[in-house]
């Protein structure tokens, strides 16, 4: 089966390579020519535009930064909609606003093209090793059609509801992750200020109720002062803005999300927006006048 893949950024590139490793034939496109060349060198065919990719494939996957990019790539000039045939399926794996997913799906439906929103969680490391968590919105028959494909990029793929439900689930995920990192940051700054080794705090609490995947993934990095991005603060800002916008539209209060959003905005002002989101701890370090480090690091 030949698949289309549009968007070969920090996530899309390793995801597309995993599909190639699984034996799928790919036609790929991105505005960054170096990224295209790298995936073509791994065995993909090059498309000249999203329209060209869609004209050559019945299933097209998109992995793009935000709602406007998805609308342009799918619905714009030389977009997927211009090349897709009736019965084709577009799987948007970008993290965008749920209402934007529904708008794109409605336009595609006019041409008889089906749509799933299927955002992911796990960042670059899990994109590379193919263990992403994939949250899907759309019709069950469309999900069944691509589930095996999704599981070549992720460890799990769950149908959460109709179109838009995947992105609602992703927003919920991003709220939980952001608040976990903020809580972890407060705890470690407290320990450091009290002259207790935060590394020992991590070792002590990770097996208890406070333990989490977030704690295990981010603690070793922040305890070394390593903010090399797996998932950048600026991208988490984008997700939390979508969460806040969606919450305001439907009347769901999310006050803690607003607080963490302002913390991230403060870090952005300081030029730290490209740091890993574990770098949230730097906001607390600055206020407390300490640097959180495992003893001996």
Q: Which of 170, 218, 238, 272 is catalytic?
A: 170
| Cβ atoms of 15 and 93 closer than 8 Å | yes
DSSP structure class, residue 232: B
Q: Pick from 113, 120, 107, 115: which is nearest to 15 by CA?
A: 120
- Provide the 8-state DSSP code for 5: E
Which positions ≥6 away from 186 have C-beta within 8 Å? 284
Active site residue 170: yes
Cα–Cα distance, 186 to 282 (Å, whole number): 10
177: left (phi over 0), alpha (psi -120 to 50) or beta: alpha
How far is the CA of 43 from the CAs of 23, 28, 85, in angstroms?
10, 10, 25
Query: Which tokens in the block code for residue 61?
Result: 């996957």
**Calpha distance 113→57 (Å, rounded):** 12
Q: What is the DSSP string of 233-293?
A: HHHHHHHHHHHHHHHHHHT---HHHHHHHHHHHHHHHTT-TTSBGGGGHHHHHHHHT----
What is the rounded CA–CA span in Å between residue 223 and residue 184?
Answer: 11
CA distance 164 to 259: 25
β 89-92/120-121 pair status: unpaired
Active site residues: 170
């Amino acid at each position: 089966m030949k698949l289309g893949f549009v968007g070969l950024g920090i996530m899309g590139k390793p995801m597309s390579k995993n599909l190639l490793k699984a034996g799928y034939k790919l036609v790929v496109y991105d505005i960054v020519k170096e990224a295209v060349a790298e995936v073509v060198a791994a065995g993909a065919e090059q498309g000249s535009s999203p329209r060209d990719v869609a004209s050559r494939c019945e299933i097209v996957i998109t992995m793009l930064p935000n709602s406007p990019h998805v609308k342009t790539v799918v619905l714009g000039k030389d977009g997927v909609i211009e090349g897709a045939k009736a019965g084709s399926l577009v799987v948007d794996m970008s993290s965008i606003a749920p209402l934007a997913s529904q708008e794109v799906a409605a336009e595609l439906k006019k041409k008889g093209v089906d749509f799933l929103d299927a955002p992911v969680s796990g960042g670059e490391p899990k994109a590379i090793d193919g263990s992403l968590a994939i949250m899907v919105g759309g019709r069950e028959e469309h999900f069944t059609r691509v589930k095996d494909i999704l599981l070549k990029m992720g460890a799990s793929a769950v149908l959460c509801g109709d179109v838009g439900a995947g992105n609602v689930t992703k927003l919920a995920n991003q709220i939980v992750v952001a608040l976990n990192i903020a809580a972890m940051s407060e705890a470690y700054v407290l320990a450091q200020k009290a002259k207790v080794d935060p590394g020992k705090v991590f070792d002590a609490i990770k097996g208890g109720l406070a333990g989490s995947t977030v704690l295990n993934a981010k603690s070793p990095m922040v305890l070394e002062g390593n903010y090399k991005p797996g998932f950048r603060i600026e991208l988490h800002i984008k997700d939390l803005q979508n969460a806040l916008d969606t919450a305001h539209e439907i009347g769901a209060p999310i006050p803690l999300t607003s607080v963490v959003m302002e913390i991230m905005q403060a870090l952005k002002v300081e030029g730290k927006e490209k740091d890993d989101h574990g770098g949230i701890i730097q906001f607390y370090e600055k206020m407390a006048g300490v640097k959180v480090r495992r003893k001996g690091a």
